Amino acid sequence: MAESLPKANGVKENKIWKGIFAVSGIMSTLVIYGVLQEKIMRVPYGLNKEYFKYSLFLVFCNRITTSAVSAGSLLASKKALDPVAPVYKYCLISASNILTTTCQYEALKYVSFPVQTLAKCAKMIPVMIWGTFIMQKSYKGFDYLVAFLVTLGCSIFILFPAGTDISPYSSGRENTVWGVFLMVGYLGFDGFTSTFQDKLFKGYNMEIHNQIFYTTLCSCVLSFTGLIVQGHLLSAIDFVYRHNDCFLDIVLLSTVATASQFFISYTIRTFGALTFAAIMTTRQLASIMLSCLWFSHPLSWEQWIGAVIVFGSLYTKNLKKASPKPPPPQQIQNSASSPVKGVP
């Protein structure tokens, strides 16, 4: 019994350090990523004030960087490059991930970054829906209450923007129907991506680098094909060639996007998809505050109320989950009466 206590404490401490590593990694990479993606998609470049409009090119650059790094990691660790799961399952994650990222970049043309980021807090809703269908999970009534409050807060935040916050791609206010539609698409595809990643990790016991390599490799092929079909590849290259500062922004964006992919996959594998959605809450709050300060986004008093409802609900949920639960009475009785438990 005396030996089991230090062992249990060591496991708990190890999990705490893993949690700190996951949270700090996601926070640092995705906050920088958020600032850069808003700068690239909403701030004009050059003397002629040209806007970068090729969101699929950003996806391609991000994924080819991540694929190269993950392949290098697998080779350096002398691990096999062979797929662990059927290739079509990697392609499913890849396709949904491309749609997620494309919706995210395109939405920035019609809604401000704070609106987009707060809407991401509703990520737990599609995660719960996909988790029910894909993982056959069941959720408690409190989880559905939090999901309802988050949806309510996001709706208030989107429907009551500050009148002076105008998108550079439209003459109207931020809450355009197309922007909201793109955010709904983002949430649906992103929820599927993280839930299906969770299923693959648990079903095939695969390495993080293995999943990242094959999903990003598929994403490279799909995004490159999309650029060719749309005829945007040469236009995007020409834009980057003419604007060196845009090239540097894309390089930095791809670097932090690659790092964030590893942190996200590590978090989902270690703690699960719903825990990952909860960890993102603090990152989103920090991103909103930084964006409002950096890009001077005004917030209406209704948006402040919506933000308080969203983050208050999510932090309450996290505190409730963190509170210690007493063991069942039957388990205590069995532990006390078991002769095996008393042997050191």
Instruction: Give the number of other Cβ atoms within 10 Å of residue 239's Cβ.
Output: 20
DSSP string of 62-86, one letter each residue:
HHHHHHHHHHHHHHHTT---S-SS-
Answer whether residue 115 shows pLDDT above 80.
no
Instruction: Provide CB contacts within 8 A for 313, sequence distance 6+.
Output: 146, 149, 150, 153
Indicate the helix (H) or strand (E) that contains 292: helix 273-294
Evaluate whether 194 touches 133 at the Cβ level (below 8 Å): no
Which of the four pLDDT bands, split at 50, 70 and 90, describes residue 224?
very high
Which tens digit of pLDDT belongs to each residue from 163-221?
A: 555 455 554 444 467 877 888 888 888 888 888 888 887 778 777 777 888 888 898 99
Q: What is the mean pLDDT of the chain?
A: 77
Mean pLDDT of 99-111: 83
Which residue type, as a one-letter code, is found at position 103? C
Q: What is the pLDDT of residue 244?
A: 92
Which tens digit of pLDDT belongs to each residue from 286-323?
A: 667 766 776 666 777 787 888 788 778 877 876 776 55
Instruction: Give the number of other Cβ atoms within 10 Å of residue 269's Cβ.
Output: 19
Q: With H, G, I as helix, E, B as strand and everything else as coil, classify residue 239.
A: helix
pTM of the prediction? 0.65
* Nearest to 66, CA basis, from 93, 84, 85, 39: 93
* Nearest to 252, CA basis, from 40, 6, 22: 40
Cα angle at 26 between 272 and 21, to 5 degrees? 75
Give dist(CA 189, CA 197) in Å, integer: 12
Give dist(CA 160, CA 95) in Å, integer: 33
